[in-house]
Structure 1
Amino acid sequence: MKQFRRLKLKGRMILILGLMALIQTGFIGAFAVHYLHQSLEEQIGQKALDVAKTIAATPQIVTAVEQGDSEYLQPISLNLARETQARFVVIGDREGIRLAHPNPNRIGHSMSDDEGDDNSTVLVDGQAYLSKALGSLGWSMRGKAPIFSSEGDRIVGLVSVGYHLEQVDKVTFHYQVTLIAVIVITFLLSVFTAVWFANHFKRAIFGLEPEQIGRLFEEQKATLESVREGIIAINNEGRITTINRTAIDTLGLPQGHSLVGQHISDVLPDSAMMKVLETGVPQFDEEVWREGHSIIANRLPLKQGDKITGVVSSFRRKDEVAMVSKKLTRIQQYADSLRSQSHEYSNKLHTIAGLIQIGAHDQALALIGQETQSHQELIKLLLDAVPDPILAGCLLGKYNRAREMGMLLVIDQDSHMKEIPEKLPRENLVSIIGNLIDNALEATRVHTGSGGEVKLSMTDLGNDLIFEIEDQGPGISPEQEAQIFEKGFSSKEAEGHGYGLHLVKSLLEKLGGTVMIEATGDSGSRFIVYIPKD
């Protein structure tokens, strides 16, 4: 068995098909030769029996046997044997004593002494019969028939006609040679078929061996179960071929029984995989609802050449995707804040060091005091108006970012944001405000250059948290208002834009909030955000 496993697929198929051909042709051939041999013996035996009965019924033979006339019967028996192509024709009397025999020396002797047959069936019972026996003339098929008297009332002798079996052996041998030739040809044909089929099969499985396919299957199964995304694959008939545990859990499908082999419409009646199977058009980042959850799904057709052979779908709950996006956004905001503070204070330190080196100590102290006073006023405002450390940290980072860009983020002194609900996710809040401030800073920089201002006011009076961000940008046209929150839309030609406002809109929809856009004077825009407390 180990040696068999070491063989390549082609060698295994040659060995298996070759052995099957040998066994089948050998078994069928042996049965055919045996049946042929038996049939030929029966035919020869039946012929011997018929000749014996015919001779026994001949009147001249009956009369000569009654008279014991060997001189008449001897030449008659030789002539009959020659005409019927029999090996011998032996005639005996009532006692079984030979009256005619191919060997004249055996005339007068008992037929039962050396022919190996019991003649009582013929001489006593009066019944003809067929036998295969080794007699004085070798193995033969012989038929024996009783000779009745002219009146037919008594048995007066018997006739034994024999045919040699050499002809049977010759015919059987001829068929055995033919059978061996057929077996060899069949084996060679099986080998050729095995080689052709193995090559065709290997191309279909990309030249892999069965053990390699088994390992790949186990690896694929383990991989599918390890990924955190749900995966479903269907074939060209729409039946499920692959589904992992995450998919079952995410979609709320029944546990405990296999879904493989079932039609996708029976498991997921509203699935769009059948549409992809029919059209061949892939679907990316499609949002669907299932079991009260929003799911982001991708569906790709599987093709073999130009033919669609199936569809695979991968999906994940939107809140998991959004959580990753929020974490990345928060990290990016912290990084921007640290980078802007580092850059700004580096410039301030270089300036202070230069003033000290030229002896302008009073100006250096004034600059330090001014910087300290400016940050102290901002920190005091944030501590009084925004006690939440996450939102306050975000605004401080955006303030430093604005100064790095040569602009100013002005926070309204009358702002008040102390009643932020505990259940309101802070990462969502800072993503909304941070993206709107970044968008306002970029619009202002493009339109006015350095020296521009972005104004922020906040209030938590009433049932909503209200944020107003006002920029000095070029404004937003009515056409742009209809598209500005679409994913990927941006007025800038550079890549990597068009996602911030889309994220703002998505997060506000999740929180039940809204955003409005107003024009301010000749240019500029004001974004007003409403986030319900409840």
Structure 2
Amino acid sequence: MLLSLRSFKLKTRMVLILGMMALLQTGLIGFFALAYLSHSLDEQIGQRALHVAKTIASIPEVIEAVENRDSELLQPLTIELANINDARFVVIGDRNGIRLAHPSWKRVGKPMYDDDGDYNEPALLYGKPYIQKATGSLGASVRGKAPIFDSNNENVVGIISVGFMLDTVEEIIDRYRNTLYLVIALSFGLSVLTGLWFASHFKKAIFGLEPEQIGQLFQERNATLESIREGIIAVNNQGNITTFNRAAIETLGLDANTQLTGKPIEEILPDSRLMNVMLSGKPQFDKEIWLQDRNLIVNRLPMHQDNEITGVVSSFRRKDELDLVSRRLTQIQKYADTLRSQSHEYSNKLHTIAGLIQIGATEEALALIGQETLSHQALIQLLVEAVPDPILAGCLLGKYNRAKELGLHLDIDPESSMKAIPDRIPREELVSILGNLIDNALEATLKNQKFEVKLSMTDLGNDLIFEIEDQGAGVPEEQHENIFRKGVTSKQGEGHGFGLHLVTKLLQKLGGTIMLEPGDKAGSRFTVYIPKDR
């Protein structure tokens, strides 16, 4: 049955189910009502027949006529009594069950047993009245039978049988049965109309989807939630949690066995501020907050239905994860810039050498090769001795080539030493700090039409110290504090003002500091201090 119903659409299913329920309920109630009515009518008619029989059995004239076996008196009397009490018949028999009065004279003098198959023992032998339902010569009837006692009320001298025909009962039941059929039809029609209205309203509430589609979407939704690495929590308009994923529990550091569904958000996360979004109805994007002692980037979005806010959904991720992704992307970009610079630089040199060879200037070509080789050998030798860390050395080599590509010179102090970099300092963060400062210095120097950028570094003492000095226009003293804020820049166009801010954030994480002061030859000098031990 269920399989067959699934082949129909939701509206058809609801109409069929409601219709069948209406038929079943009204049918069962009607069957019970008719059975109860039939039993009650039989009992009432039987009690009435018995009452009439007892009344007739107590009439002195009837007692005397029975004792005298006076059928001439009893015959018309019973007919009159039957008419007065609306009974179908009144039959009187003697103590042996032989009829003394009957609606038909032909049956007078014959035993009552021939009529109903009953020996009348309860009344004749034991003197007890009783009710009987039987089919006799006059048809099916309910009979009340009572014993007739003699004038001294000691001995049974006869029996009275008063009958009411059952066709009257059947007529009443048929009338009620027709009414019941009408009620069933009306109930079925009302159920169909109710089913159509409810199905239409319900389909609208579930956006016209079928139950199987909702089940599939529910499974897809659960799979999607668990596959997302961002934590997701949704609450209803009462502030109770309705949705969450495993990433939310892990990101917030909650117990893995915590059951969040149905719990108030204020109880689980008192500082979530989701209810503020519920009240204001305004979404929030990329908000940086502290929650559960974790620095998170949060989005909060109210959910609307019929112009009412039904809940709020929030997605969040740890900020350090986003910073790590950002740093990795920045580092990849720097590696790409380094490779491009080196490729471009060596491409120019190779073209120059090839041109010199073609025009026969072999000595000049050899001199250029020797000069280039000597310059790079000196730089590489310096980096090998002063900066054994390959990641930092590769970054400096790339920046050196980038400077040459721009027509500038990155002067690395030969007295520099950076050999004792602690393992606790992530190399990609160190490269990101140094790379941003060198890039800013190269741009400032190029913009001011100067030539040189200086870099010195030392690991002596308790700190790693880097000094980057440019020959740019310098930074006004009143801007020394603001230059490190996000979005603050002296450059034109969009996409600037993030490098120094990122440097500051990374240094805060490492426990370091940065100082800005005027350079020896104008420009600016940035000094970075990173403690070896926190």
Q: Fold-level match, TM-score > 0.5?
A: yes
Distance 1:51 1:422, change over 3 A: closer
1:345 and 2:307 matched? no
Q: Deviations over 1:353-383 (max 9, x none)?
A: 4444455555545544443443344334333
Distance in 1 between residues matched to 2:204 and 2:484, nearest whole Å: 50
- Correspondence for 1:325: 326
- Residue 453 to residue 289, structure 1, CA distance change in 2 (3 Å): farther
Q: Distance in 1 between matches of 2:244 and 2:150?
A: 94
Give, in whole Å, the separation in 1 of the partners of 2:485 and 2:51. 106
Match for residue 404 of structure 1? 405
Structure 2 residue 284 is the aligned partner of structure 1 residue 282: yes
Name the SS of the counterpart of 1:484 in structure 2.
helix
> What is the aligned-residue RMSD (CA, Å)?
2.7
SS in 1 for 2:484: coil
Partner of 1:434: 435
Matched residue, 2:303: 302
- What corresponds to 2:72 in structure 1? 71
Deviations 1:412-452 (A, max 9, x none): 34433333223322111110000111122233334x24x44
> What amino acid is aligned across from residue 286 of structure 1 in structure 2?
E
Distance in 2 between the 1:2 and 1:511 partners?
Answer: 65
Give the alignment's TM-score, normalised by structure 1: 0.90
Show the counterpart of 2:266.
265
Matched letter for residue 153 of structure 2: G
Contact 2:18–2:192 (CA under 8 A) maintained in structure 1: yes
Aligned to 1:129: 130
Count the aligned residue pairs: 531
CA contact (8 A) 2:87 2:163 kept: yes
Inter-CA distance 487–198: structure 2 relative to 1 (3 Å threshold): farther
Matching residue's letter, 2:240: R
Please give the per-residue CA displacement for 1:101-142, whole angstroms capped at 9, x wherever unaligned: 111111111222322233232233222222111122111011
CA contact (8 A) 1:231 1:247 kept: yes
**TM-score using structure 2 length:** 0.90
In the TM superposition, residue 185 of structure 1 has moved relative to its aligned partner by: 2.1
Counterpart code for 1:396: L
Give the partner amino acid of 2:316.
F
Q: Helix, strand or coil: the match of 1:42?
A: helix
The 3-state SS of whatever aligns with 1:180 is helix
**Per-residue Cα deviation, 1:206-265 (whole angstroms, up to 9, x for no partner):** 333323322332333233333333333333333333333333333332234533332333
For residues 294 and 8 of structure 1, the distance between their equivalents in structure 2, rounded to whole angstroms, comes to 49
| Residue correspondence of structure 1 range 42-441 to structure 2 within 5 A | 42-256=43-257, 258-280=259-281, 281-288=283-290, 290=292, 294-358=295-359, 360-361=361-362, 363-441=364-442
The offset of 1:512, in angstroms, is 0.5
Residues 4 and 67 (structure 1), Cα distance of their counterparts in 2 relative to 1, 3 Å cut: same
Pairwise mapping of residues 448-463 of structure 1 onto structure 2 (< 5 A)? Answer: 448-449=448-449, 451-463=450-462
- How far 1:183 sits from its partner (Å)? 1.6
Counterpart of 1:470? Answer: 469
2-structure distance, mates of 1:150, 1:60: 10
> Following the alignment from structure 1 to structure 2, what is the Cα–Cα distance between the partners of residues 500 and 313?
30
For 1:303, what is the secondary structure of its paired residue?
Answer: strand
Moved more, 175-184 or 160-169: 175-184
Structure 1 contact 514–529 (Cα < 8 Å) conserved: yes
Instruction: Report the alpha carbon displacement of residue 520 of structure 1 after superposing the two structures with TM.
Output: 4.2
- SS, match of residue 116 in structure 2: coil
Tell me the amino acid that sits aligned with residue 328 of structure 2.
K
> Which letter does structure 2 place at the counterpart of 1:484?
I
Amino acid in structure 1 at the alignment position of 2:432: S
Alpha-carbon contact 1:52-1:145 (below 8 Å) kept: yes
* Whole-Å separation in 2 of the counterparts to 1:227 and 1:308: 25
Distance 1:114 1:252, change over 3 A: same
Give, as a single letter, the amino acid of the residue that structure 1 aligns with 2:166. L
CA contact (8 A) 2:50 2:145 kept: yes
Compute the displacement of 1:530 (Å): 0.8
- The AA in structure 2 aligned to 1:525 is S
* One-letter amino acid of the counterpart of residue 262, structure 2: G
Change (3 A) 1:492 1:10: farther
Once residues 493 and 162 of structure 1 are traced to their aligned partners in structure 2, the CA distance between those partners, rounded to angstroms, is: 117
Q: Which moved more, 1:131-140 or 1:408-417?
A: 408-417
SS of 2:262's equivalent in the other structure is coil
| Unaligned runs of at least 5 residues, structure 1 | none
1:529 CA drift (Å): 1.0
> How has the CA–CA distance of structure 1 residues 452 and 179 changed in structure 2, closer, same or farther, with 3 Å as cutoff?
farther
Over 3 Å counting, the alpha-carbon distance change for 1:81 and 1:366 in structure 2 is same
User: Bigger CA drift: 122-131 or 1-10?
Assistant: 1-10
Q: 1:75 to 1:272 in 2, by over 3 A?
A: same
Q: 1:438 to 1:59 in 2, by over 3 A?
A: same
SS for the counterpart of 1:113 is helix
Q: By how many angstroms is 1:489 displaced?
A: 4.1
CA–CA separation in structure 2 for the residues paired with 1:223 and 1:412: 54
